[in-house]
Each structure stands twice: as C-alpha cells, then as structure tokens.
Amino acid sequence: MKFEDYRISPEIKKNLAELGFRRPTDIQYKAISPILKGDDVLAIAQTGTGKTAAFAIPVIDIINQQKTSSRCEFISCLVMVPTRELALQITEVFQTLCKHTFVKTGCVFGGVEQDPQISRLKTGIDILVATPGRMFDLVSQGHILLERVQILVLDEADHMLALGFIKDIRQLIHRLPKHRQTLFFSATINPEIKDLAYSLVVNPIRIEISPKDPVAKNVTHSVAFIPMDDKRFFLERIIKENPDSKILVFVRTKVRAERVFKAMERIEIKTITIHGDKDQKDRLDVMSQFRNGAVKVLIATDVSARGIDIQDVEYVINYDLPDVAENYVHRVGRTGRGDKKGLAVSFCSPEEKPVLDEIEAFLDQKIKVVTIDKEDYSATLDFSADNPHDWRALINEELQNEQLFSKKKKKKK
C-alpha cells in the first residue's frame, strides 16, 4: 500500500511526496487506519520505526478535516513527551506534515523563558507538543486550556515513567475530557506500563512491531572487552578510521561525558557533549552542530538518548554500558533508522560484564564479540596521540626538554 492510496488530505499527501515518503513503515501501516477511524491505540514499537509519523499523519488529517480556516479556537490534540529534545523534534515533524493545511502546531518545554511560548499559545494552536513540567506550569497560570482536547498522545511512555512522570500523567487525565481518543506509544512494555496504558485507553487496537526483537534488524551489534582506562584509545581509533561518519558516543554520567570530551580534545579530535547540565540554548546549538555535520562526534548521556533523532548516524558507541539493560535499546535506536544501516559498538570493561549479561538476556540474543589480539591491542595504544609511552610522544617530550635546557643555559650566560 502507498500513502497516495490512503483517504487523507491531498495536502498531507503532497507533503509526504515532497519528503520522499512513498510507502508506510510497518508501524505506520498498522496504526494510521485505526487512528483515522477514531480508535484508541496501544502501540509497542522499537525506536527508528517511524512512530512519530504513525500518529502525526492521521492526527493532522482528523483536525484538518474539521477546519474551514487557519483560525485556531482551542487545542484539539495534546502530545506528551518526556524530554525537550524529543518535544522539538516531534514538533518539527508535525510542522513539516502540516504545510499547506489549516492545522497549526506549537511546543512548550522547560529550561527556557516561558514568555515566548505564552505568546505562541495566544496566537492559537491546534496541536500542542509538551513536556509535563512546563505544561502544568502554564495550565496552572491559565495559559493552556485542555477542556476541549479530542486526542491525547503519550509518546515514549516508558521513558516518562522512568523519569517519574506517572503522577503527572494521572493528574493530567483529570483535566481532559472523558470522551477522547488516546494513543499510547512505547518502545518497551512492562507490567507498570501495561497498567498505565490500560487505565487510559478504551478497547484499544494493540499493535506490536517485532516485540521479540526490541532493536531494529538493520543495526549490527558488537562488543569488545576493553579495560576502563584504555577505552579512550579505542574510541580515538574508531573516530580516526571513520573521519566522515557521524558517531554518537554514550557514557553513563555527565562527569564521564566531560572527561571523554577532554580526552578527545587533548588529541585534537573535535567533539561536543549533551547532558542534563547544559542549558536549553546550548543543547539546541549542540544538536544543530551534530545534525548539520559541523561536528561529527557527539558524546551523550542516557537522559538525552531518546531525544536524539538525527539522520545518518552511522555509529553508536557505548563507551560505558548503560545502568539499565533497557536503555541499550534506546541508545542503539539512534542508528539504523528507517531503511538505513547502522553499527552499534560496545566497550565492556571487566566490571561491566554483569551488565552485558543483562543486556543479552533482555535482547534474548548474544552480542557478537570482537576479539582484539595482543598485537592489535598494543598497536592501538602505541599509536594513540594521547599515549605517553609511544615513541612520538617520548621524542617530542625529549625535544621540548632540550629546548628548555638550552634557553636556561643562554639565560645563565
């Protein structure tokens, strides 16, 4: 089936054609028609499968069919997401697909001044994409009215629960009309998520895309056993061997992110970092640099994992294995998106082996082990620009000492 065969607005079909989208992905094929019919949907699909368009296309069409002008009288659809980056990216998808229609989209999130967002709300919007904290702030101030919301979308619901937003979600339900359409999207499912989902939806259409294989099939996985102190040398090697590739590096903490950044800086490899300590302006600037290829290597923490939706990321490197096995899925989902191929490489230190076992149990499959022989291992360390024991560093150090000694000798004379 092609997008042109769907009974959706010609304007949306035109937008899809301009984007080069001809046929729906599995999740889009299974979700669009039920949503158009007004059914509640509970969808479990791994990242990179086209989930955003799966709900954006029908939601825009439903609202567009109801309107006769671009005037916006109330918020018709509320899309709740866990992070600022995800909010911005989903808004961008909606705005692209809304072109040539009467539908207007807006976005609110924390970490920035609220006045520009309030001004945007006052101009009128049909679809609001929001993170929980800022949305509730603006609701309490009377800037957001939810009484006429027809469609509620919860995207990355599992991540919202992991970040402690379950009380916010339950509080939100009391502010929404009882009779509404609810679309619940999640990359993973567990008993808590299932309980929440079924408390929100009514006789839903349940959709599962590759539930037994939580990661996309076009991602190739491998793991190398490397001591913690040597990881930076192997990261340096991968970056230098793939100078034209976009590489996303995941670490466990923001302190680790800055430490790896400094290690790469010492050897004149340009990288950027994104984590919870960055303010919104910096985060937007970082994402822009990585998106347009100005900087090829981005170092990120798990908090940022689901908010990174960048085209053509060839490598995801798990510099540190994640604390939670489930987060492995969200990390590697940043590559191999759509029909593109991707490579996920993990560095596993001896103390991280139990975490690797948990990840393999979660995936229900073994990750291919890359064996590094002693000669290759030594060569990686010896030829690193950051290795104080390699011959180049020793020669440079000796030359600097000689120059310093000569200068002191001249001063004495």
366-391 pLDDT, tens per residue?
Answer: 999 999 988 889 888 877 777 655 54
**CATH number of residue 69's parent domain:** 3.40.50.300
Check residue 121 and give its pLDDT: 94
Residue at a domain's end among 209, 231, 249:
209
Measure Cα distances from 108 to 103, 135, 154, 184 in Å: 17, 7, 15, 20
* Total domains in the fold of the chain: 2
Q: Is residue 406 part of a domain?
A: no
Do 129 and 27 fall into the same domain? yes
Same domain, 147 and 246: no
| One domain for residues 8 and 136 | yes
| 244 plus 354 within the same structural domain | yes
Q: Which residues of 247-280 are buried (b: 16+ CB within 10 A; e: fewer)?
A: bbbbbbebebbeebbebbeeeebebbbbbeebee
In a domain, residue 265? The reply is yes
397 within some domain: no
In order of 35, 37, 183, the CA distances from 41 in angstroms are 7, 11, 5
The answer on 184 and 233 residing in a single domain is no
Residue 400 falls within a domain, yes or no?
A: no
367 shares a domain with 291: yes
Quick check: is 410 in a domain? no
pTM above 0.85?
no
Based on the domain organization, do 204 and 226 belong to the same domain? no
Considering the domain architecture, whether residues 199 and 334 belong to the same structural domain is answered as: no
Q: Are residues 159 and 41 in the same domain?
A: yes
| Boundaries of domain holding 315 | 219-392
Highest mean pLDDT among 64-73, 215-224, 254-263: 254-263
Tens of pLDDT along 235-277?
A: 999 999 999 999 999 999 889 999 999 999 999 999 999 887 7
120 and 58, same domain (yes or no): yes
Can you tell me the mean pLDDT for 51-63?
Answer: 95
